[in-house]
Amino acid sequence: MPIKHLAIILDGNRRWAKKRGLPTLEGHRRGYDNVKTIGLAALDRGIGHLTVFAFSTENWKRSSEEVGYLMDLLYHALTAELGFYMENNVRLKVVGLREGLSEKLVSAIDEAEHVTSGNARGQLNLCINYGGRAEIVAAVRQLVADGVKSEDVTEELIASKTWMAGIPDPDLIIRTSGEQRVSGFLTWSGVYSELMFVDTYWPAFNESNLDAAIAAYENRERRFGK
């Protein structure tokens, strides 16, 4: 079964930089550059959706300098880099809480999603200020606000209110850097995803690593509980 939707937990930027005697912030910059590289490689391999864990709801606990840099990097990606996504016919979608983000960044998100909405080659879903439990809570709150009765709640109805609504469930979730946990990533939509943990730090994850992951996935049998 081919991969239609690949999701990646971008882990190891800071450790990659430290190992090379570089500033932590440089690790994040190289990590973003690699999102573009691997994103294009995924498109070339027929993967229409790439979802990346760019900033979690827990990442606010990091230093103010690092958080500020990450916010600036995300703003840069959504503004100065728009030409890259238009040129490659890629649609952008940002998934996560808007609360806590600056008005400037929220405006950039809205504009980037609007400008790229007609692009059809593939879609990059950026999980920013995202947490899997927060996503489910938000969906349930929306159902309550809509006046849905408890006896009418179904899995399909909850799924329709999640931030990932309308996006195919991920076939494969990769976490780089060797850590073996999903850290609240795609808690709802990733329930039947295949999981793969790769020792390589994200900035060093290359097309060979991608091809190896795809090959390993293709050798697995997905049963979906059957």
Domains of the chain as residue ranges with CATH: 5-131+172-180+193-218 (3.40.1180.10)
| pLDDT on residue 166 | 96
| pLDDT on residue 167 | 97
| pLDDT on residue 217 | 97
Rounded to whole angstroms, the Cα distance separating 45 from 130 reads: 27
| pLDDT on residue 1 | 81
| pLDDT on residue 112 | 98
Above pLDDT 70, what percent of the chain?
99
Phi and psi dihedrals of 55, rounded to 5? Answer: -160, 120
Mean pLDDT in residue range 77-83: 97
The distance from CA 148 to its chain's CA centroid, rounded to whole angstroms, is 30
Query: Is 93 in a helix, a strand, or coil?
Result: strand
Query: DSSP character for 96?
Result: S
| pLDDT on residue 226 | 64
Q: Where are the alpha helices (DSSP H) in 5-102?
A: 13-19, 24-44, 64-78, 82-87
Query: Is 52 in a helix, a strand, or coil?
Result: strand
Rounded to whole angstroms, the Cα distance separating 91 from 96 reads: 17
Which residues are catalytically annotated?
Answer: 11, 59
Mean pLDDT in residue range 151-167: 97
Supply the mean pLDDT for the chain: 96
pLDDT in tens, 28-51: 999 999 999 999 999 999 999 999
Q: pTM of the predicted model, to two decimals?
A: 0.95
| pLDDT on residue 224 | 66
Rounded to whole angstroms, the Cα distance separating 62 from 67 reads: 6
Phi and psi dihedrals of 113, rounded to 5? Answer: -65, -40
Query: DSSP character for 117?
Result: T
| pLDDT on residue 31 | 97
Identity at 68, one-letter amino acid code = G
pLDDT in tens, 202-217: 999 999 999 999 999 9
| pLDDT on residue 221 | 80
| pLDDT on residue 89 | 98
